[in-house]
Amino acid sequence: MAIGQKIKKVREFKNLTQEHLAEKLGMSVAGYGKIEREDTDVPFSRLEQIAKTFDMKTEDLVGFDEQLVYNIMHNHIDTNHFYAKGGISDKERELYEKTIKLLEEKVALLEKGQK
């Protein structure tokens, strides 16, 4: 997954808008949108700002893996075994756990809407 897609996914998982992030980063919404669409190169200093806004380390943002979040959510991997081997940092685990909670809430709302 390219960095713009990772930034977008983390932003969505954290329930933040492009407008909110653009404001926090001191840039226009159009300029921020170019980052997510990968219409522009993202300097490392900007990645650091984005990661800080997400309360993440830059390497956690760059290494974000949506498939891992999906697998954990659907129990396709033994998470205790994964964590015990030191596969991810505490910050990553925290992000994934928050992400899973948000996704579960979204699924519940969608299921409720279908009834």
Alpha carbon 81 to its chain's center: 23
Q: Is the pLDDT of residue 61 over 60?
A: yes
Residues 87 and 58 in one domain: no
DSSP annotation string for 37-95:
HT-S---HHHHHHHHHHTTS-HHHHHT--HHHHHHHHTT-S-HHHHHHTT-S-HHHHHH
Q: Are residues 13 and 52 in the same domain?
A: yes
* Report field, pTM of the whole predicted structure over 0.75: no
Domain endpoint, select from 46, 62, 78: 62
If asked whether residues 57 and 78 sit together in one domain, one would say: no
Domain end call among 41, 62, 83: 62
CA 36, CA 72: separation in Å to the nearest integer? 25
Answer yes or no: do 41 and 77 share one domain: no
User: Is it the case that residue 80 has pLDDT exceeding 60?
Assistant: no
Residues 56 and 79 in one domain: no
Domain check: are 37 and 53 in the same one? yes
Enclosing domain of residue 96? 66-114
Most confident among 4-8, 20-24, 77-81, 96-100 (mean pLDDT): 20-24
| Structural domains of the chain, count | 2
Grade residue 81 by pLDDT with cuts at 50, 70 and 90.
very low
pLDDT band at 71 (very low <50, low <70, confident <90, very high): low
What sign for the dihedral angle of Cα 95, 97, 100, 102?
Answer: negative
CATH of the domain at 35: 1.10.260.40
